[in-house]
Amino acid sequence: MQYNLRWCLDCLADQETDERGPCTYCRSERVMGPMTYGPGSVVLSIEEGNYTEYGTARPWQEQWYQVIVHFKELKALYQPGRSQRSDSVTKLAVEDFFDHCLRLREWVRDEALTTKQGKNKVENLFNNNESLDLGRDIANTAKHRGRNKEGDRNAVVRRVYHREDNSASALIEWWIRGDEGNRHKQDALEIAEGCMEAWKDFLKRHNLRLWEVKTRRNNI
């Protein structure tokens, strides 16, 4: 089964349509496609009812799509009228995004850039980008409860705000083990946006796309 899809470079929306024109969500003109997407490892079958069968190949694109989905969920919570949820749900949305953002490193490293040079490029991406480096610490701190070695950086969701317009935001606080008195704070979405920009730039530079594209038109 194939789908006609467009991809907005500004709001990250993917739209199942073969029509051209601006993004249907943010009206940006920076839209890729439409393109024909074959889902690869996901097969829709009909036999004694409807069900979806997932293959075992598990390409790196599956994890990248998870990153996109969790980013969109986090970004939506910041919009007026979208955050009518508990504080714990907002906190989980933050942690889930950074968790998947970190997982993508392994998937790209082990499936797309498998040479020693390629793996080093993925590692250097995190080591040299402030947002991805901090996002990695957010994910690892949530996973391990605390990071107790001298020099480790702990990064946690310190505060969740809910406003009268039903928008929300989350504040990240981080510190270095052994220097707990020197603490820093930054908005979670600001960090997440930096992570998304870094990943998109990296994937573009290495010609790695979300979908395996079978073009019917010239699409860029």
Count Cα neighbours of 161 within 13 Å in the Cβ-side half-sphere.
15
Assess contact for 50 and 73: CB atoms under 8 A: no
Tell me the average confidence (pLDDT) per consecutive run of 10 residues in the chain, 220 residues long.
Answer: 63 70 84 60 45 62 87 90 74 95 93 89 95 95 78 90 88 90 94 95 84 38
Q: What pLDDT, on a 0 to 100 scale, did the predictor assign at position 20? A: 80
pLDDT of residue 181: 85
* pLDDT at position 192: 97
Q: Which residues contact 22 (CB under 8 A, 6 or more apart)?
A: 28, 29, 31
Both structure tokens of 131:
């947002």
Give which of 109, 83, 86, 93 is closest to 199, Cα–Cα: 109
Q: Which two tokens stand for residue 125?
A: 């991406």
For residue 34, whether the previous peptide bond is cis, meaning omega lies within 30 degrees of 0, is: yes
- At 83 the pLDDT is 55
- pLDDT given for residue 96 in this prediction: 96
Q: Which residues contact 119 (CB under 8 A, 6 or more apart)?
A: 109, 113
Give whole-number Cα distances, 25 to 29, 75, 195, 199, in Å. 11, 14, 22, 22
pLDDT at 3: 47
